Structure 1
Amino acid sequence: MNILVVDDHPLYRSGVVHTLQNTGMEVNVVECAALETAFQRASEGQQFDLVILDLQMPGYQGTDSVRAVRMRLPELPVLVLSGNEDPAIVRDCIDLGACGFVPKSAPSDEFHAALTLVLSGGVYLPPTSLSVGSPASRAQQDAWARLGARLTDRQRQVLLGIVQGKPNKVIARDLGLSDTTVKSHVAHILDALVVSNRTEAVYALARAGLTMRDLEPAPTRAC
């Protein structure tokens, strides 16, 4: 497994690498102190399974670093690390397609849990972020529990695209569907999850403990 660690602080970067090397996983870690260096490594043909990204990188403001990675390396899952634990920042990162957010103040076991969940196809959100706002209603809890029965295989594929942060046009292209059809599927998905937008849908999956593997279409059975 190849993991790209992008952080301009040598001491913190080495700490992340040390933690990765002590997870018990077989990992090959590539360190970069700048996003441009990371893009260069990726352009050289090396394949990565995950990028662990410091949110505040030189030359980038706010969530621009996440936006840049999602634009340049759209298929690469992004796990964000940040000293800023503002729930609004967490939400913005997830809205841009990050698969997880870990505060730099988090203990190593939380980082390990986030890493494990993201690598298995889940979305990791810090507990403080999940607790913000109104708790899940009974209707939402019931909807999440019945999610498999309420979505068709095609809608599961569309929801996978939403979790990966893909816009409707990209989902339509990937699945060979029209934009109108994808919009219709998205509307049904939001209704099924009892949420009002794409980011809330991702939060719903995180609250429910579901991963992208849970959303994969069920295998067809021979008659």
Structure 2
Amino acid sequence: MASSISRFEKTPAFAQEPSGSNSLTHRASDGEMQQTEGVDKRCLLVLDSRALDRECLARTLTTHGLGMEVGAFGSVDEWREKKGTCPSVGAVLLNIGARKVADVAAEIAKLAAEFRPLPVVVLSDIDDLGQILRVLECGARGYIPTSVGVEVCIEAIGLAVAGGIFLPASSVLAVRHLIETERPEAQPMAGMFTLRQAEVVQALRKGKANKIIAYELNLRESTVKVHIRNIMKKLKATNRTEVAYKLNDLFTGNAGYH
């Protein structure tokens, strides 16, 4: 990432700039680009089959000072057809949305091989350690969950361009949980809950409120509620009190349900 970021001037979409002008040229279309003199001319290639999502992402990254040109395309093939609008790729950001890595592993591996040594970073709605590790195994140089803010996203891209690998903080917490599964109290949860659900379970056992759980696990409160609903479903419980009761049975070895 460039050490200094030029300030962009706002120019209406489709505006025509005079010849030799140094101000921003902004074209709001597929393959959207934003340019200004003095900014690193390498291009961040954003790949997303969803037109609105990729265009909004491209605009947001540039507006918040990415420091690179941004080219947004539906696929690599589309980029090849319009390569003149993004000729010098510096990094690739692949937005897989809610798709599981098993469905896009081949695509990620192909991109990583084609653009090597340039970094390929994956943007995903899923924040799961297993998914993250699989993406890295495919050759990606970073995994950005959509739960982070745009500033973190930009820093993650910059880290990848600089040769680093970005992982969300949640994955570090998940690794910590894996280490803690050595303890006897964690064994009853093996195979029953996901890593994130297991962390929520531990918090529920301590009687923590949703807001506290969300703060401690760096999650949105709505996400915590989703995890609790899934935990209730697995335990066949109808409320938090019943969840606590069944968890107590689970950890004391008296569970009579599956």
Q: Give the TM-score range, shorter chain.
A: 0.5 to 0.7
* Bigger shift: residues 127-136 or 60-69: 127-136
Question: In 1, distance between residues paired with 2:174 and 2:168?
Answer: 10
Does 2:152 align with 1:130? no
- Report Cα offsets for 1:168-189 as digits up to 9, x if no partner: xxxxxxxxxxxxxxxxxxxxxx
Using CA pairs below 8 Å that are at least 6 residues apart, which structure has the higher relative contact order? 1
Gaps of 5+ in 1: 138-223
C-alpha distance 73-2 of structure 1, shift in aligned 2 (>3 A):
same
C-alpha distance 134-2 of structure 1, shift in aligned 2 (>3 A):
same
User: 2:117 corresponds to which residue?
Assistant: 75
Matching residue within 25, 35, 43 for 2:76: 35
Is 1:55–1:63's contact at 8 Å kept on the other side of the alignment? no
C-alpha distance 103-11 of structure 1, shift in aligned 2 (>3 A):
same
Does 2:148 align with 1:103? no
Does 2:89 align with 1:48? yes
SS at match of 1:19: helix
C-alpha distance 5-73 of structure 1, shift in aligned 2 (>3 A):
same
C-alpha distance 15-44 of structure 1, shift in aligned 2 (>3 A):
closer
Question: In 1, distance between residues paired with 2:111 and 2:86?
Answer: 16
Question: In 1, distance between residues paired with 2:47 and 2:83?
Answer: 12
Does 2:109 align with 1:88? no
CA RMSD of aligned residues (A): 2.9
Question: In 2, distance between residues paired with 1:107 and 1:93?
Answer: 21
Does 2:167 align with 1:116? no
SS at match of 2:103: coil
SS at match of 1:55: strand
C-alpha distance 115-71 of structure 1, shift in aligned 2 (>3 A):
closer
Gaps of 5+ in 2: 1-41, 180-258
Matching residue within 57, 65, 69 for 1:16: 57
Question: In 2, distance between residues paired with 1:15 and 1:45?
Answer: 17
Deviation at 1:136, TM superposition (A): 11
User: Between Structure 1 and Structure 2, whose CA radius of gyration is higher?
Assistant: 2
Identical pairs, percent: 22
* Aligned pairs, number: 135
Normalized per residue, the structure richer in helix is: 1
Is 1:55–1:66's contact at 8 Å kept on the other side of the alignment? no
Is 1:20–1:27's contact at 8 Å kept on the other side of the alignment? no
C-alpha distance 48-61 of structure 1, shift in aligned 2 (>3 A):
same
TM-score (norm 2): 0.46
User: 1:219 corresponds to which residue?
Assistant: none
Question: In 2, distance between residues paired with 1:4 and 1:25?
Answer: 12
- Report Cα offsets for 1:33-77 as digits up to 9, x if no partner: 1232235556999221001112368xx923222112023222221
- Report Cα offsets for 1:91-139 as digits up to 9, x if no partner: 11112221111112322122122122222221100111122224799xx
